[in-house]
Structure 1
């Protein structure tokens, strides 16, 4: 019997770098390449996969922790790269040259069909040229990645509601951020609608959008200065349990890390 499932591994997630692997029977893709090429190669091998088999790379925005190795991977492995027009223009100098036939414009708030994988883009508010994230659909299952936004509006909620799996931002603890050594302007930027979601705000957004289909939630893009793995998990789990949600029973929460990939999970 053939395996027609949607599989996911969060290779790296945090303020130090981001990269996620997604697999269907017809496609092996990654979203973002925010670490060195060598590190991404090693992370892939640690889950039993090889970058030479990856056919596509979807880029969310030009910030280094999401786009550092885009050019390197495109040149070395010949994979197709997708980003919206504003992101292409913003990251062009950073990523260097590679063949034009590997470059594709993925318009914001649109859906592209790739055989057995439908990819739906949606714009978010972030201090980048035009950040957009993606909802991946295969065989009745969906996996949504949402980080690098300070707010979730009604339009986004409609697109990402009741997904089977989420990679969702819990970037900072508010007390740690405000009591830390960042400048006041940086603290305000992080907390702004174009900054990042806190543990509390991320949980509130998740509780608004998750539904009966939701079985896997990865807590993502954690700040190494203003958050801890245990604090993020405690905040999310406590708030959800207090709202009557079946943490650990109806769905699972997973930590993510910059240096250690998650297991390759089937949705």
Structure 2
């Protein structure tokens, strides 16, 4: 089995993504109820008992809602950095000591032939991270909840064959929306979320000849639409001279209410040295 993944759910109502190869089946976040996560797994031909570990990005409720219940029900280890563990404590209930695993920001771990590497991002959480996954010469990157894309984040994402990447909101829809100004200011700030245009500009700096597909993720149900997100991202890229029709790069959808089809990552890239 090659490296493959499915985004079970993406958006402000809950986030979870499954990454799988022949050696491991891992889930990023569990931001829906345990019952709903199990339902989505079943839709993709999996059961909760097949999950070997849950990788936590940060402690916001749309990423951890079902985390504790899912870990207890299926006896699944949880991986998070120390500051995130501290922030999780009061939200997820009792977790068996053997299932409380500290994975430092910047650390890489091997699950058989599947290598997982975390890296820091900008968001209003204790110590938020995104993740890279490697198998042989393939690379998958999953990065959402980004206030902005720093040079270091760009470097981490480059050479990914496939990315799940935030395109959260349309700026004008957000400005005209019903949210109070303090929340709008948070979303628009460096510790908030990427707009469609920001996502397009960042992709111009990140995408390489190895990049084949980008799944636009964590779309706001209040302040975005999938067709608008794709159009705006593509427009921002074209303004920078990056024309998708002239490349092999495709923009793909994610959903808040259903999983994406399984996607296999097969293109060539490099594998980094294991972190100390």
Q: Is the 8 A contact 1:74 1:80 kept in 2?
A: yes
Q: Return the alpha-carbon distance in structure 2 between the equivalents of residues 218 and 154 of structure 1.
A: 21
Q: Return the alpha-carbon distance in structure 2 between the equivalents of residues 167 and 116 of structure 1.
A: 21
Pairwise CA distance, 1:140: 1.0
Alignment equivalent of 2:41, drawn from 25, 41, 44: 44
Other-structure match for 1:261: 259
Q: Is the 8 A contact 1:13 1:221 kept in 2?
A: yes
Q: Return the alpha-carbon distance in structure 1 between the equivalents of residues 212 and 44 of structure 2.
A: 21
What are the equivalent positions in structure 2 for 1:70-219 lying under 5 Å apart? 70-219=67-216
**Is 1:246 aligned to residue 253 of structure 2?**
no
Q: Is the 8 A contact 2:234 2:244 kept in 1?
A: no
Q: Return the alpha-carbon distance in structure 1 between the equivalents of residues 131 and 46 of structure 2.
A: 22
Q: Cα deviations across residues 213-240 of structure 1 (Å, max 9, x unaligned)?
A: 1111100000111111111011122333
TM-score normalised by the chain length of structure 1 = 0.95
Q: Is the 8 A contact 1:247 1:253 kept in 2?
A: no
Alignment equivalent of 2:232, drawn from 216, 235, 245: 235
TM-score normalised by the chain length of structure 2 = 0.92
RMSD between aligned residues:
1.3
Other-structure match for 1:11: 8
Structure 1 unaligned residues grouped into runs of 5+ = none
Structure 2 unaligned residues grouped into runs of 5+ = 266-276
Alignment equivalent of 1:30, drawn from 27, 31, 36: 27
**SS of match in other structure, 2:123:** coil
Q: Is the 8 A contact 1:18 1:33 kept in 2?
A: yes
Q: Return the alpha-carbon distance in structure 2 between the equivalents of residues 266 and 154 of structure 1.
A: 28
Pairwise CA distance, 1:126: 0.8
**Is 1:20 aligned to residue 45 of structure 2?**
no
* Aligned residue pairs, count: 264
**SS of match in other structure, 2:244:** coil
